[in-house]
Amino acid sequence: MLVLVGMGLWDERDISCKGLELVRRADEVYVEFYTSKLMGTTKDRLEEFLGRKVTEVGRSDLEENCRWLIERAKERDIVILVPGDPAIATTHSALMLEAIKRDVKVRIVHSSSIVNAICGLTGLHNYRFGKSATVSYPYAGKVSKTPVNVIRQNLSIDAHTILFLDLHPKPMTIGEAIEIMEKADNSILDLFGVGIARAGSEEPFVRCDRLRELKKVDFGPPLHILVILAKTLHFMEFECLRYFASAPKELEELVA
């Protein structure tokens, strides 16, 4: 059996009790830090907490060279530890599909993901989020228009947008993400956004303002994530952003 166990948002203790039991009973335990990172711990601390030796696997072990992991899971109980929730990154659903096609049983043990944390940290209502997108580093000098297009689509149905920030070669900052997107469409600078740093930690930093202002804010160490607000806000969303994210008073103009 192949068991994908979510490790949650921040440190080694964000894994569920169920996940911990399965790790302790597994024949072999692997971990990947390709789809995301746990900033609040190290591999050593993780191994100590779990009471197990853990082998790190990389991108290609999860993607084009995943066959060896799947073969091992035919005979043995294999756990792969995953930052966040195993269902959020498409890498994991592709791996699950490969395993099921080869008659390997798959189980997921869920955990918290950044998508949940954003609602808690901002007070934005979960049901009002639209599609999400990733802001990538320019490739061969070219900036992807996808994030800006997704923002526009979501604005057309009055929905918020979550923007995941590229992790490779290093975690992108909120300021860098805004600078990249403004190259695709500089009118985005007038939009209101919420920047979030270190979600899931005991010291998250959350700030709401127009993107042209957020660009100048020092959000501190990673990971960072950025939300672009819908055209309108529910009054409770506005109030939460005032209290949780030091939003400027002029944000009130968005309250529907």
Point out which residues bind its own copies (CB under 8 A).
4, 6, 8-9, 11-18, 20-21, 49, 85-88, 90, 92-94, 96-97, 100-101, 107-108, 110-113, 115-121, 123, 125-134, 153-154, 156-157, 159, 164, 200, 202, 236, 239-240, 243-244
Strands 106-109 and 28-32: unpaired
Instruction: Output 137-141 pairs: Cβ under 8 A, ≥24 positions apart.
Output: 137/166, 137/168, 137/169, 137/172, 137/180, 138/180, 138/183
DSSP output for 229-253: --SSB-HHHHHHHHHHH---GGGGG
Closer by beta carbon to its own copies, 4 or else 143: 4
Closer by beta carbon to its own copies, 108 or else 165: 108
Min dist. Cβ of residue 139 to its own copies (A): 19
Beta bridge partners of 225: 164, 196
The contacts of residue 96 (CB under 8 Å, 6+ apart) are 2, 4, 106, 108
Closer by beta carbon to its own copies, 218 or else 256: 256
Closer by beta carbon to its own copies, 128 or else 224: 128
Alpha-carbon span 97 to 206, nearest angstrom: 37
By C-alpha distance, which of 217, 237, 90 is closest to 159?
A: 237
Closer by beta carbon to its own copies, 78 or else 215: 78
Min dist. Cβ of residue 99 to its own copies (A): 10
Min dist. Cβ of residue 89 to its own copies (A): 8
Asked if 131 and 150 count as a contact pair (C-beta separation under 8 A), the reply is yes
Min dist. Cβ of residue 124 to its own copies (A): 8
Closer by beta carbon to its own copies, 128 or else 215: 128
Closer by beta carbon to its own copies, 21 or else 218: 21
Min dist. Cβ of residue 108 to its own copies (A): 5
Min dist. Cβ of residue 133 to its own copies (A): 6
Instruction: Output 144-151 pairs: Cβ under 8 A, ≥24 positions apart.
Output: 144/184, 145/184, 145/185, 147/181, 147/184, 148/181, 148/184, 148/185, 148/188, 151/188, 151/191, 151/228
Min dist. Cβ of residue 144 to its own copies (A): 13
Q: Which residue has the tokens 């992807």?
A: 144
